[in-house]
Amino acid sequence: MTTAVRVRGLAKRYGDVQAVGGIDLDIRAGEVFAILGPNGAGKSTTVEILEGYRRRDAGEVSVLGTDPGRPTREWRSRIGVVLQTANDVAEATVRETIRHFAGYYPNPADPDEVIERVGLTDKAGKRIRQLSGGQRRRMDVALGVIGNPELLFLDEPTTGFDPEARRRFWELIQDLAHQGTTIVLTTHYLDEAEALANRVAVVARGRIVAEGTPATLGGRATAKATVHWAGGSEETDTPTKTVLELSRRFDGEIPELAVIRPSLEDIYLRLIEG
CA dihedral 147, 86, 204, 75 (to 10 degrees): 20
C-alpha to C-alpha distance for 206 and 19, rounded to whole angstroms: 5
**Whether pLDDT at 172 is above 70:** yes
Choose between 260 and 66: higher pLDDT.
Answer: 66
Kindly report, residue by residue over 97-118, the tens digit of the pLDDT: 999 999 999 989 999 988 988 8
Residue 67 pLDDT: 97
pLDDT (average), residues 216-229: 85
Q: Domain-by-domain residue ranges, the chain?
A: 3-217, 219-263
pLDDT (average), residues 166-190: 89
Kindly report, residue by residue over 186-218, the tens digit of the pLDDT: 988 899 999 999 999 999 999 999 999 998 888
Residue 11 pLDDT: 96
Beta strands in the chain (DSSP E): 3-14, 17-28, 32-36, 58-63, 79-82, 151-155, 182-186, 199-204, 207-212, 225-229, 232-236, 258-260
Q: Which DSSP category does 66 fall into?
A: B
pLDDT bucket at 157, cuts 50 / 70 / 90: confident
Residues belonging to the chain: 274
Residue 274 pLDDT: 65
Kindly report, residue by residue over 2-44, the tens digit of the pLDDT: 999 999 999 999 999 999 999 999 999 999 999 999 988 899 8
Residue 163 pLDDT: 83
Residue 87 pLDDT: 61
DSSP H helices in 146-263? 163-178, 190-196, 239-249
Does the reported pTM lie above 0.85? no
C-alpha to C-alpha distance for 236 and 112, rounded to whole angstroms: 55
Give the chain's mean pLDDT. Answer: 90
CATH of 3-217 among 3.40.50.300, 1.10.10.10, 3.40.50.2020, 3.30.530.20:
3.40.50.300
DSSP 13-46: EETTEEEEEEEEEEEETT-EEEEE--TTSSHHHH
